[in-house]
Structure 1
Amino acid sequence: MGALLALIIVALILGLIGYGASARIVRQFERGVVFRFGKVHGPPREPGFVWIAPFVDQMRKVNVQIVTLPIPAQDGITRDNVTVRVDAVVYFRVHDPVEAVVEVQDYEFAVSQVAQTSLRSIIGKSELDDLLSNRETLNQGLELMIDSPAVGWGIEIDRVEIKDVALPETMKRSMSRQAEAERERRSRIITADGELQASHKLAAAASTMSETPAALQLRLLQTIVEVAAEKNSTVVLPFPVELLRFLEHASEKPAAPAASATPPAPPPTPPPTPEVEPATSDVNGVRQLPAPPQPPRP
């Protein structure tokens, strides 16, 4: 009896050990890949309580949830020769657990490396304006580049998003000046359009008022009322419009030349005539010149 009891106890212990070695629990977001003697045995195990052969089978659990994988920032030069630093994020999931375990050693590391190389390639093929404003197209292109090798690994790329584009400080200042100049241009265009429309309206109003003088007089009275507002020290004196028109017509006639008030200048005085000594005449009536003076003798 003692030997039989010991045999039963040993059998129970071995049964408990075998039960513990063969029983597995697979969670809802996991799939179990069973290897028998190192070879894949059957399809992946579904969630729940799973039995495997003890000491013969090995099971590896694979997470089938969507994995968020950040891509480290990559430095690159765009097609228009601008140095940028771009980072992104990849969302993927395992759709074939067997291929994800058998075809690649570490599928997360493999997806990360492919994403980094693809991101650098996208930077070199794109321009700066595309990286800043046309990210949707770049995201689709980056997703296709990553998805091509990932399909053979049993990986499904859900989507890829470019998170941030870091620019040099000099480029930031240049873009700020460009944006400021663009806003200034728009402001001037809007101001010019407003002045053009206002000039058209004023020309139409002036044409209408010129046909009706009473309207011009009413406009003058309205202007006086607007100027003479409350707490205003400006004094306004109305001036008849008819008098303005009379002065305008009078200014168009040629003005008569005005008489000079300055008296006429006296005639110039002739220069004085030098005095000439009277000539002497001889007896015969011949004119003789006076003799020159003789120098005194010593």
Structure 2
Amino acid sequence: MRLGHIRKNVARGPGVYFILPCTDTLIKVDMRTKTFDMPSQEIFTKDPLIIDVDGVVYYRIHDALLAVTKVTNADSATRLLAKAIVKNTLAAQNLCHIISEREKVARDIQALLDNVTGDWGVKVERVEIKNVKTRVNVVTPGHAMSPPKPVKEASLFLQESPLSLQLRCLKADSAHPSQQYSTIIFSYP
């Protein structure tokens, strides 16, 4: 860039050239495939359950000019966007769907990411959802169940018995002592 304008394919002949400071800017762009681990993030699913999800995103810059001119830092913007899209996409899903359709969910996230980052000159090549962990302890009206064996089984149980989730909320609320009294109303179908 020279004085804020892009200079493409400037052919220089032999000789000595002086580059004045503050007039030319050279920006290196790495065009190789890059990866980043998405750290585990807490997501409140549609079920409603709290899950921790982590993953990996593979991307590369396919148009250096767009990556330099359309966004301040293409790598950082891609990482932040990936975290937001993963969180929003998984929050709209049931846990059972996330577990059973992991590859399809990852492809949907990849398509959403690629749709936005394409304008920045970034191509998202692959999204992998590595771990999905739940934090739910299932409580039934009569007794406490042992922690669920597979996460999918817990999700199915909570879909069939909404009362157990309400009891779990009451148990969690009573675990935090407060100085004021509060009234909690749950509707029972």
Structure-1-length-normalised TM-score? 0.43
Residue 77 of structure 1 pairs with residue 44 of structure 2 = yes
Please name the residue that 1:132 is paired with.
99
3-state DSSP class of the match of 1:42?
coil
Q: Deviations over 1:108-149 (max 9, x none)?
A: 111111111111111212111122221110001100111121
Q: CA deviation at 1:57?
A: 3.4
Q: CA deviation at 1:53?
A: 5.6
Q: CA deviation at 1:104?
A: 0.5
Q: Deviations over 1:241-293 (max 9, x none)?
A: xxxxxxxxxxxxxxxxxxxxxxxxxxxxxxxxxxxxxxxxxxxxxxxxxxxxx
Aligned sequence identity (%): 26
CA RMSD in angstroms comes to 2.6
Q: 1:78 to 1:40 in 2, by over 3 A?
A: same
Do 2:53 and 2:131's aligned partners in 1 also have CA atoms closer than 8 Å? yes
Q: 1:63 to 1:176 in 2, by over 3 A?
A: closer
Please name the residue that 1:108 is paired with.
75
Name the CA distance, whole Å, in 2 between partners of 1:165 and 1:93. Answer: 26
Q: CA deviation at 1:178?
A: 9.0
Equivalence map 1:1-298=2 (5 Å):
35-43=1-9, 54-55=19-20, 56-168=23-135, 170=137, 173-175=147-149
Q: 1:92 to 1:36 in 2, by over 3 A?
A: same
Q: CA deviation at 1:102?
A: 1.0
Runs of 4+ off more than 3 Å: 175-179
Do 2:62 and 2:123's aligned partners in 1 also have CA atoms closer than 8 Å? yes
Q: CA deviation at 1:80?
A: 1.6
Name the CA distance, whole Å, in 1 between partners of 2:48 and 2:121. Answer: 38
Give structure 2 stretches of 5+ with no counterpart: 139-145, 154-189
Residue type of the partner of 2:8? G
Name the CA distance, whole Å, in 2 between partners of 1:71 and 1:152. Answer: 22
Name the CA distance, whole Å, in 2 between partners of 1:44 and 1:133. Answer: 53
Q: CA deviation at 1:173?
A: 1.5
Do 1:93 and 1:158's aligned partners in 2 also have CA atoms closer than 8 Å? yes
Residue type of the partner of 2:116? P
Name the CA distance, whole Å, in 1 between partners of 2:32 and 2:71. Answer: 18
Q: CA deviation at 1:175?
A: 3.5
Name the CA distance, whole Å, in 1 between partners of 2:151 and 2:57. Answer: 35
Do 1:74 and 1:119's aligned partners in 2 also have CA atoms closer than 8 Å? no
Do 1:44 and 1:98's aligned partners in 2 also have CA atoms closer than 8 Å? no
Name the CA distance, whole Å, in 1 between partners of 2:113 and 2:80. Answer: 10
Residue type of the partner of 1:174? P
Q: Deviations over 1:65-98 (max 9, x none)?
A: 1010222222122222111111121100001101
Do 2:95 and 2:152's aligned partners in 1 also have CA atoms closer than 8 Å? no
Please name the residue that 1:17 is paired with.
none
Give structure 1 stretches of 5+ with no counterpart: 1-34, 46-50, 180-298
Q: 1:174 to 1:41 in 2, by over 3 A?
A: same
Residue type of the partner of 2:3? F
The number of equivalent residue pairs is: 140
